[in-house]
Amino acid sequence: MNGATSHVVEMDDLHRESILHPACAILPAVLALGERQHAPGRELILAASAGYEVGIRVALAVGTSHYYSWHTTATCGTYGAAAGAAKLLGLNEDQFAWALGSAGTQAAGLWEFLVECAMSKQLHPGKAAMNGLLAALLAKEGFTGARRILEGEKGFFRATSKNFDEGKCTADLGKVFHGDRNSIKYHASCGHTHSAIDAVQLATGGRTLKAAEVADVRIQVYQAAIDLLGNVEAKSPYLAKFNLPFCIATALLFGHVRLDDFSEARLADAEIRNLMSKVSFTVDPELTKAYPRKWPARVTITLADGRKLEACNEYPKGDPENPLTASELVAKFKSLTAGILSGAQADRIVDKVMNLEKIADANELLS
């Protein structure tokens, strides 16, 4: 349940190079097991770190072609959840390998849901967390799994990718920690829209524009963004999160792309629809070359009076190169939990998370 709900509003974390949302698949498994084990905060941190490192490394190794059909968070997140749980359970080398084997044989999640606005995307991280945890618990009891689930002839890499690189699983292991390059989303939309949103705000200097002031808006992005977003229609508030014209029109009209910007009323708004009709987007081969190390975008806004506003963005707000401050991170948490938690409850959770290494029992986190 935690895995599914944490992915619903498109505000969870993102590791850019691996195209993975680690937290929604990995942390629910670690937290649930941590509560059962009464694990101290330090062990939760180690388990989460192990889960992140394994999930991200598998996602890096499977390559970008995997993402065309497969939802990396669903597939590679399963390995991360299994690794985090395995660490917390103290599995030995054989058991750890079995856990990854059983995780891999359950790893699934296809992008076809996006065509019909099906609810499967939320199912993906929930199942990844559940299946990864199940794999680790089974391994602890001696249930075996394929040791070569990744690199085997009929394993994960060869079955789901055209450009995998096995070496990325262990490259600089113990020296480079990929979780350090995690992004924390600032905008309440698909991550592939964020650079374009920020480029628009850079071009306008942060001021808002009415539809009548704009002649057209041209967005240039990388191929993977077009592959995922190109045919998505804003038929619902959820699909609007994957619709570039809606996100760009929202940024222009209101100066932000927040959770409350995605509503049926906003979708029906004539001003939004007018501005959306003026937005077009194309692939730029140079931007594609930078992906996935960067998720860049260029924008050219032609105003009704003929003036042009232009900007390029490579690192949107929330990326490790352009991070949220601690106060912005806390503000994001409180905005997402408003109406669910009282101010005092939110403050207590923030304090416990920020001092997680001092907690004696995982059950204290949400008590």
Range of the domain at 91: 1-184
Q: What is the mean pLDDT of the chain?
A: 97
State which H helix or E strand residue 14 sits in: strand 13-15
Alpha helices in the chain (DSSP H): 2-5, 22-37, 41-62, 66-69, 72-89, 93-106, 113-116, 120-140, 156-160, 194-204, 223-229, 237-240, 244-254, 264-268, 270-276, 285-290, 326-337, 343-354
30-69 residue pLDDT tens: 999 999 999 999 999 999 999 999 999 999 999 999 999 9
The confidence score (pLDDT) of residue 292 equals 95
Q: What CATH code is carried by the domain that includes residue 31? A: 1.10.4100.10
Q: Is residue 249 part of a domain?
A: yes
CB-neighbour burial class of residue 20 (10 A; exposed 0-12, middle 13-18, buried 19+): buried
Report yes or no on 320 lying in a domain. Answer: no
Q: What is the four-CA torsion angle of 52, 172, 75, 77, rounded to 10 degrees?
A: 0
Same domain, 346 and 283: no
Q: How many domains does the chain divide into?
A: 3
Domain shared by 281 and 149, yes or no: no
For residue 366, pLDDT over 80 is answered with: no
Whether residues 358 and 287 share a domain: the answer is no
Q: Does some domain include residue 321?
A: no
How confident is residue 151, by pLDDT bands cut at 50, 70 and 90? very high
The DSSP bridge pattern shows strands 279-283 and 182-184 to be unpaired
Name the domain boundary from 161, 184, 207. Answer: 184
Question: Do both 4 and 148 map to the same domain?
Answer: yes
Q: How confident is the model at residue 116, as a pLDDT?
A: 84
Q: What is the pLDDT of residues 216-254, one digit of tens each?
A: 999 999 999 999 999 999 999 999 999 999 999 999 999
Say if residue 258's pLDDT is above 80: yes
pLDDT digits (tens, 9 = 90+) for 301-360: 999 999 999 999 999 999 999 999 999 999 999 999 999 999 999 999 999 999 999 999
Q: Is there a contact between 194 and 295 (Cβ–Cβ < 8 Å)?
A: yes
Alpha carbon distances (Å) from 52 to 13, 66, 80, 85, 228: 11, 19, 6, 11, 24
Whether residues 155 and 211 share a domain: the answer is no
Q: Is 234 found in the same domain as 160?
A: no
Is 34 among the domain residues? yes
Question: Does residue 160 sit in the same domain as residue 228?
Answer: no
Same domain? 271 vs 333: no
Same domain, 157 and 226: no
Is the residue at 220 inside a domain?
yes
Report yes or no on 318 lying in a domain. Answer: no
217 pairs with which residues across the strands? 279, 301
- Characterize the bridge pairing of strands 182-184 and 13-15: antiparallel
Let me know if residue 55 belongs to a domain: yes
Residue 175 has pLDDT above 80, yes or no: yes
Amino acid at 284: D
Answer with the one of 140, 155, 184 that is the final residue of a domain. Answer: 184
Do 12 and 136 sit in the same domain of this protein? yes
Shortest CA distance to 296 belongs to which of 220, 202, 187, 190? 220
Tell me: do 278 and 350 sit in the same domain. Answer: no
Quick one: pLDDT at residue 367? 79
